[in-house]
Amino acid sequence: MLRINALPLFGLLFSVIASASTQVNDSAIFDQKNLYGRWNCKYAMEDANTRMKVDYDISYFADGRASGSGTLLLRMQNFPQMEYSLSNRSTWVVKAGSLILSSAEFKLVNRSHPELDQILNLESLFPQNVRESSTILELTQSTLVARSDSYGGVYSCSKRAPKI
């Protein structure tokens, strides 16, 4: 039963990781170069039994690679608040007006309560090869707001200054 309740939550988590994946509206002006660089994405979700906060940095490269890492704070009924580190390597491609993100590697590590992995092994819920798309609501050189096509959640990202 716990696994069934957790699946939509983790679909939302992957959508955050893939937040710059997009299907572009015909009327939207989409400059692919605006995606290049490092983004910080944040998402929070709360329902009656679950709270989740994600803070995730992801870099999109001109050659179609993407990589990211961040933190997930998760509070589920009858469990202590758990903190996870997450990382992802992906590829992305623009095709027929869509930007499709395909995950090549995904890692989720319980940093706060690893002993609970015997009961709730969240990483096992994620397949390694996942494709995700989101509709971009706003994309500028400094802001990305997207809505997951799979789960409907809205994610907000801001461009990080380049490392010197």
Query: Can you give the C-alpha Rg of the chain in angstroms?
Result: 16
Most confident of 2-16, 54-68, 87-101, 130-144: 54-68
Q: Torsion-angle region of residue 148: left (phi > 0), alpha (psi -120 to 50) or beta?
A: beta
Whether the predicted pLDDT of 164 surpasses 80: no
Residue 164 belongs to some domain of the structure = no
The proportion of the chain whose per-residue pLDDT surpasses 90, expressed as a percent, equals 29
Q: What is the mean pLDDT of the chain?
A: 77
Instruction: Output the pLDDT for position 19.
Output: 45
Question: How many folded domains does the chain comprise?
Answer: 1
Q: How far apart are CA 52 and CA 54, in angstroms?
A: 7
Find where tokens 């994946």 sit.
Answer: 21
Pairing type for strands 134-139 and 131-132 reads unpaired
Domain extent, residue 40, equals 2-159
Decide: 45 and 159 in contact? Cβ < 8 Å. no
Residue 118 belongs to some domain of the structure = yes
Residue 38 belongs to some domain of the structure = yes
Provide the whole-model pTM: 0.77
Confidence of residue 95 (pLDDT cuts 50, 70, 90): low
